[in-house]
Structure 1
Amino acid sequence: MFRALKARNYRLWASGQIVSLIGTWMQRVAQDWLVLTLSGGSALAVGIVMALQFGPTLFLSVWGGVLADRYDKRRILIATQTAMAVTSLLLAALDIGGVVTLWQVYLIAFAAGCASAIDAPVRQSFTIEMVGRSLLSNAIALNSMTFNLARIIGPAISGVLIVVIGTGWVFALNFVSFGCVLAAMLAMNQDELHPSAHAARARGQIRAGFRYVWGRADLRDLLATVFVVSTFGLNFPISLAVLARNTFDRDADAYGLLSTTLAVGTLAGATLAARRSGPVQMKLFIVAATVFGVFEIAVGLMPSFLLVAIVLVPTGAAVLTFTTSAMNILQMSVKADMRGRVMGIYMLCFLGGTPLGSPLLGWLADVTSPRAPLVVGGAISLAAGVSSGVYLLLNRTRPRSVSNGEAISEPAKGKYGEGSG
């Protein structure tokens, strides 16, 4: 289950990431709570800060993918992680100093979002360089386990620390946590990496990436479904914060608890994914999207805080299966020299809809009910999963991976979207 940890560079990466990601999740909870406090409990304000934080994905993630294909990914990651650490330090200084305002949080969230938009596709495509193709699937699953273990620990700690020491010191702790992942990258043995051949600098490389994706029906289907589900379904930073504060009249620790129970489910899903062997099929991705929609609707309809927390566990497992299967299909079935750009387009679809969905769902929660984003988002996700399945039936071709990682189409025989390895 932990095969990828045989690679020393990946062990360094995973150990640094777990500490850094705990800090990141602590900051996410603290930032949402700070915005709610500064805005008088406005869900729309939380939606706006999310839009500003993830909005740069719309115009920077694909450029991040181009950089990943052209240059040394490790050096790019050191720069982006450093930039995000600086934004955490600035927010901590303003908050601890008692001078923080809502517009300052918006501005810092936007700056951090710019660094993150470049970081994400580079980080995703760097995984294969640490472990090689044979261990990639296991490494992706372990990345998800690390992410979701941090997602359990971070919000739980943050909810308590916000009450005890305040949001500012939580931001300061996140700044310190970045040192761990930076130290890990600096300690890597570059001779043990498996670098992909860098794409030559040329005009039209972004257009070439989009043409490559558009030319494959399986990638069009997958990325369209990711966009819809992520834009409208994965709205938990808004919905859980507002649900805890405005529906159940709870404090920040309750919001942290709900985030933690969701993460328990995603960690369970990641554990199952790490044990899975063989290629991931497109039908698993479609089933996960559909099941997630059903569970998210159920979360929105639960009458008590306890029942919401309980149903969030299987919801988290469905989320993790959805995202991990998408990542496996993409990374295992695309050309090596296109991987960075395809991952950039994936991050564009995964996060690029947030500037649209977050303010809209925040406004919906303000004018109707805090439960509305969950119910509406779940219904849209359910429809997206069903639509993806219909599209699958109407376009019965699947990619067959060849030795250089490029997929070509052939008639399907019950499977779709597989990659070799």
Structure 2
Amino acid sequence: MQVSKLFHSLHNPAFARLYAAQTTSLLGDALTWLGLALLAFELAGKDSAVVLSGALTLRVTAFVLLSPFAGVLADRFDRKTILVITHLARMCIISFLPFVSAVWQVYAIVFALNVFNAFFTPTYQATIPLVTGQQDYPQAIALSSATFQLLGVLGPGIAGVIAAFVGMRQIFFIDALTFLIAAILIATLPGQLRVNQAIDQRRPSGKTWSEVREGTNRLFSDCSLRYALAMQFVVSIAGAQILVNTVGYIQGTLQLSSVQYGWVMGALGIGATFAAFIFGLLDQKSKRLNLMFAGTVLVVSALLPASYVGLSPLLALWFIAGAGQTLVNVSAQTLIADCTPIKFQGRVYGAQFAWSHLWWVFAYPLAGWLGSYQKELPFLSGSLIALVFLVVVQLALKPKL
């Protein structure tokens, strides 16, 4: 009964089609990001952490600059059109990655790719409560997050197999194909995906800026959303260490192969998937802030001993870290739907997406620096920094309920 509750949102035809499109594109996307890590190691060797941190910093820079405007557009216009255009654009851009021969080309393609990703993700997040309604959106958000993480688990293993037979660069074409399929699925949805206030009319630029500011104002004026955003800052510091420095630790320090790297990142995804399913089954509003704190503690705690362990313990630690990240991020997404009227949710999701990724603009370069200059203990240093911020946030911003 509890498991069927989690999948109840799929009875909604519109969400089922959106979910199928998300699943299709994420399958290829998981392959692409593992391929990007391997490509960085191919181009830069032991300096791959610097390349990855640079590429990921450009990625979140695009999110920070553009996603607030994406939220405003999602409240004004047909979201189906936005989702289709962003899929097709990313399909074209990702097709250039197999031909990359220099680091600067990686940077340029990653930034261009995530310009459109900045418009896709907040629009998709805001569309879930729109099509599912108030009763089913917590389960729909949890299911969407669980699928994202599950495909993150499957993707590295599939990528390793494909790279062994057809070459590492060819896996990028798979991602391009999935974007095309996802665009077709969304385009065949009947009708429009539009909130009531979203009508086609010309608006002055001042109105646009006012709506962008409104999303941020609503985000920071609510004590629960403000606390959630601060916890995401702590998680970004710890999470960036994992994304940037794991490949160097596995293939450099431990002298293992890309297959073992896939296993470790798969463990991260398994933990995240497990936590997303658990969150969907709980669905208790009163416990979301506690779950968020517990998730942050799990991520920071998992990172503390990681610089001293071998492959097997690292698998367990990254499982714990993945579970913690999901508890924080899914709680934050669900709180927006709890605290925000539906006609404003697009711009608030856009603002939250921008601000939460602004934290990564700081976290990725920090992780790259620790990976280059603290090569023996990158995870320990990052976890201690995150721990200090965790204590500050908990003492200063925890809502008094």
Asked if Structure 1 and Structure 2 have the same fold, meaning a TM-score greater than 0.5 normalized by the shorter chain, the answer is yes
1:277 aligns with 2:278: no
Whether the aligned pair in 2 keeps the contact of 1:18 and 1:146 (CA below 8 Å) is yes
Distance 2:131 2:12 in 1: 7
Cα deviation for residue 286 of structure 1 reads 1.7
Map of 2:3 onto structure 1: none
Amino acid of the structure 1 residue aligned with 2:294: V
Counterpart Cα distance in 1 of 2:62 and 2:268: 26
Structure 1 residue 48, shift from structure 2 partner: 0.8
- Of 289, 310, 330 in structure 1, the residue corresponding to residue 296 of structure 2 is 289
Amino acid at match of 1:34: L
Count residues in correspondence.
388
Q: Any gaps of 5 or more consecutive residues in structure 2? A: 1-5
Regions of 4+ moved over 4 Å: none
Paired residues for 1:15-414 under 5 Å:
15-42=20-47, 43-92=49-98, 94-95=99-100, 100-190=101-191, 195-198=195-198, 201=203, 202-203=207-208, 204-279=210-285, 280-298=287-305, 300-369=306-375, 371-372=377-378, 374-392=379-397, 395-396=399-400, 412=401
Indicate if the aligned counterparts of 1:162 and 1:252 stay in contact, CA closer than 8 A. Answer: no
How far apart, CA to CA, are the structure 2 residues paired with 1:106 and 1:294?
Answer: 32
Query: Do the aligned residues in 1 keep the contact of 2:122 with 2:353 (CA within 8 Å)?
Result: yes
Deviations 1:71-118 (A, max 9, x none): 1111101111111111111223x15xxxx2221111101101111112
Q: Is the 8 A contact 1:74 1:126 kept in 2?
A: no
Kept in 2, the 8 Å contact 1:297–1:378? The answer is yes
CA contact (8 A) 1:162 1:170 kept: yes
Change (3 A) 1:163 1:41: farther
Q: Deviations over 1:341-362 (max 9, x none)?
A: 2111211122223233212211
Residue by residue, what CA displacement relative to the aligned partner does 1:337-394 show, whole Å, maximum 9, x if unpaired?
221121112111222232332122112111122641x22333333334333332345x
1:367/1:377 Cα in 2 relative to 1: closer, same or farther (>3 Å)? closer
Larger CA deviation: 161-170 vs 106-115: 161-170
**Aligned-pair Cα RMSD in Å:** 2.0
Partner AA of 2:188 in structure 1 = A
Instruction: Sort the Cα spacing of 1:376 and 1:331 in 2 relative to 1 into closer, same or farther, 3 A.
Output: farther
CA displacement at 1:152 relative to structure 2: 0.7
Structure 1 stretch 145-154 or stretch 306-315: which is displaced more? Answer: 306-315
Query: What residue in structure 1 maps to residue 19 of structure 2?
Result: 14
> Within 2, Cα distance between the matches of 1:392 and 1:281?
15
Contact 1:77–1:123 (CA under 8 A) maintained in structure 2: yes
- Find the aligned partners of 2:154 and 2:373 in 1 and give their Cα distance: 33
The 3-state SS of whatever aligns with 2:283 is coil
Q: 1:194-248 deviations in whole A, cap 9, x for unaligned? A: 7453288425211222222232232222212213322443432212111111111
Deviation at 1:129, TM superposition (A): 2.2
Q: Distance in 1 between matches of 2:292 and 2:311?
A: 30
Distance 2:388 2:56 in 1: 24
Can you give the 5+ residue segments of structure 1 that lack an aligned partner in the other structure? Answer: 397-411, 413-421
The structural deviation recorded for 1:305 is 1.2
Q: Distance in 1 between matches of 2:359 and 2:290?
A: 24
Amino acid at match of 1:343: Y
Question: Percent identical across equivalent pairs?
Answer: 23
- Please state how far the C-alpha of 1:302 moved relative to its aligned partner: 4.0
Deviations 1:258-277 (A, max 9, x none): 11111111111111112123
SS of 1:235's partner is helix
Contact 2:75 2:195 in 1 (8 A): no
**Residues 231 and 328 in structure 2, CA contact (< 8 A), matched pair in contact too:** no
SS at match of 2:27: helix
Contact 1:129 1:196 in 2 (8 A): no
Higher helix share: 2
